[in-house]
Amino acid sequence: MQSFREADTTARNRAMNYFASHQRLWLFGYGSLIYKVDFPFLQRRPAVIRGWERRFWQGSHDHRGTPAAPGRVVTLVESADAFCRGMAFEITPDVFEHLDNREKNGYLRVVVDVQFADGACEEALVYIAGPDNPAYLGPASEADIAAQINHAIGPSGLNRDYLLHLADALRDLGAEDAHVFGLERLLRKQG
């Protein structure tokens, strides 16, 4: 069995040079990057990416859980007719040092197209944890996911706080997300 340390993607992300010649670029946030903005940015705008949906299918061994009892955090999974609302941040490449460390538990930089409310489109970077990383937990019933989230705690705090903050942030954006809001309802019932 692979250890969670093998999920560390920092070096792989730092080797990515797709945006190396850019002085500014867009970063798309769909999870904690929406509400926990601990990095400098030039501007932020609500945005949408198409062909992806948010799912609590990634394990968190380093922030919202532990190696023995991982929490669950969101990643994106491909879905042809889906769209994901989030927040786009215009950043400079020096922010990657912090972001690559923050998103190191299985997340890789992926280039996507973001669309803004005015119809403008831009290339952006997004961190996605795919099913081939050792921390990936994959699908489970909503009840099982909510129970795992309800009991997990890690260095960054309660896993339930991650879900509740995300649900609030999505409401603030006017974004509907049946998966997140369904888990929130179950979590609140569990107490």
Rounded to 5 degrees, φ, ψ at 126 are -140, 145
Q: Which two tokens mark 18?
A: 């797709």
* Residue-wise pLDDT tens digits, 106-148: 999 999 999 999 999 999 999 999 999 999 999 999 999 999 9
Which pLDDT score, from 0 to 100, does residue 6 have?
63
Rounded to 5 degrees, φ, ψ at 145 are -65, -45
Residues of the chain with pLDDT under 70: 1-6, 13, 18
Q: Alpha-carbon distance 30 to 60, whole Å?
A: 16
- For domain 4-190, which CATH number applies: 3.40.50.300, 3.20.20.120, 3.10.490.10, 3.40.190.10? 3.10.490.10
CA atoms within 13 A on the CB side of 90: 9
Q: Alpha-carbon distance 101 to 123, whole Å?
A: 22
Which pLDDT score, from 0 to 100, does residue 2 have?
43
Which residues are part of the catalytic machinery? Answer: 103
What share of the chain has pLDDT > 70, as a percent? 96
Which pLDDT score, from 0 to 100, does residue 5 have?
55
Q: Alpha-carbon distance 176 to 84, whole Å?
A: 9
